[in-house]
Structure 1
């Protein structure tokens, strides 16, 4: 069986395990890069040893092509492939990064978010940006949102979380309702809230381009994406005094530690500590 057949078998195993299409794609792409590297040395997958996986990880790190998070994803992809397809359990624990990377999330200020929304003239595009910011939902969640998930009466949105099959509710902004009603009247979505041509599901790539183009038009120098709007939603809620456990629930985080990263930003911004320069 050649590599393509093995990758296809791997995808089938992941589908049976109910992994999402995006996760399957990520696992496969990591394996393709790994096999491309290994194929220069071996013609048979059975010849690959742990030391060769170690060399690959070292090569990725040494060439600056591998963050700690990416390193973990590569190792998970390889481990699952060996387990699901070859029926071999390999121990790669020694290759996982031991030090956690603590990164402060990028975000927009309230003024910048307002600027982004105001320069977006297309009604569908404006609603998309307002949706992403006002709810903090993920890109995959907004494109999977159905018209039946919107409860105008109770001002709530039902999120069918794609990432790990959980469900939650988030608030529906009063300001968003105004634009949403106009959007419904003009575009008349049938199944999904945001639809492309022929009433098909809107693509994630299109959403990313919409946000990017609006950011360019607004003159913002920051990199802006749907994920940055989600970050901004969380940071602004923390700044307004909302309990972090409530924010965790709204974001759909499994662990509070994931939500706590946003407090790093607000603590730095609101710190009462003055620079020693100010005392001179």
Structure 2
């Protein structure tokens, strides 16, 4: 069984799936295989797969997003990895859940940043919010990605495997210069105590501690900072097409969820970090 997982992982790596997707798919296939202890790719039936998904939906009440992940992972595992030909598209949820994202107010963001005494930790949270980054994008940032001449941050091979540029806040640049002077990172902009890439769990712990310290009651995650970045840009009058580019969204429909606020006149694009 472990051999299946390891070979499956190698195929995902060859196809250049992101670390996060590989981890998500591995976990999904572990869940799938745990249901079939004596799994045999030549004996598994369409009906068994359907019953597995049905159990997850009706008994365990999984979310539509997790159902989508589960079916996608199983489809890739069986058809791409094991070279079978199962027709599984009908097992995907028929519609997407349309939940408005949780976001923090400008005052709450300010409280969070100001509550963090550690310089590196404050720089990390400020970078995520100030540039609207995904967690994986922050961790991949290298020193040369900060372009202080053009006041831009280069995001390399982000979701969708496309590079993009986002604005570099004046306030963030000053903070990063202060941070760099003290910590002297070698390769990645933010490195662990022993060098190398900073861990996702450590970043999440920074925000969790700040939320607790400021007594903010919202269920905020690292991605909430990105939602807040987008929401504050919309509030500030930034055209949705620019917000789409800054967030790296393939479709503007993904960005339109942030227009639940208000339609105000266009203003010159500024990082919301410079406004709080």
Is the shorter-chain TM-score for this pair beyond 0.5, marking a shared fold?
yes
Distance in structure 2 (CA, Å) of the matches to 1:256 and 1:89: 33
1:179 equivalenced with 2:156 (yes/no)? no
Deviation of 1:103 (Å): 0.8
**Runs of 4+ more than 6 Å apart:** none
Distance in structure 1 (CA, Å) of the matches to 2:211 and 2:36: 41
Deviation of 1:99 (Å): 2.0
Deviation of 1:65 (Å): 4.1
Q: Aligned to 1:239, which of 235, 242, 247?
A: 235
Distance in structure 1 (CA, Å) of the matches to 2:7 and 2:173: 46
Give the RMSD, CA atoms, in angstroms.
1.5
Deviation of 1:88 (Å): 1.0
Identify which range, 62-71 or 29-38, moves more after superposition: 62-71
Contact 2:33/2:39 (8 A) holds in 1: no
What aligned pairs does 1:1-280 form with structure 2 within 5 A after superposition?
A: 3-39=1-37, 42-264=38-260, 266-267=261-262
Given the two structures, how large is their TM-score scaled by the length of structure 1? 0.90
Given the two structures, how large is their TM-score scaled by the length of structure 2? 0.91
- 1:157 aligned counterpart, secondary structure: strand
Aligned residue pairs: how many?
263
Deviation of 1:44 (Å): 3.0
Deviation of 1:202 (Å): 0.6
Identify which range, 5-14 or 105-114, moves more after superposition: 5-14
Identify which range, 142-151 or 93-102, moves more after superposition: 93-102
Distance in structure 2 (CA, Å) of the matches to 1:37 and 1:166: 37
- 2:174 aligned counterpart, secondary structure: helix
Identify which range, 203-212 or 162-171, moves more after superposition: 162-171
Structure 1: runs of 5+ lacking an equivalent: 269-280
Contact 2:166/2:246 (8 A) holds in 1: yes
The structure with the largest alpha-carbon Rg is 1
Contact 1:79/1:89 (8 A) holds in 2: no
Report the equivalent of 1:278: none
Deviation of 1:38 (Å): 2.4
Contact 2:41/2:82 (8 A) holds in 1: no
- 2:155 aligned counterpart, secondary structure: strand
Structure 2: runs of 5+ lacking an equivalent: 264-276
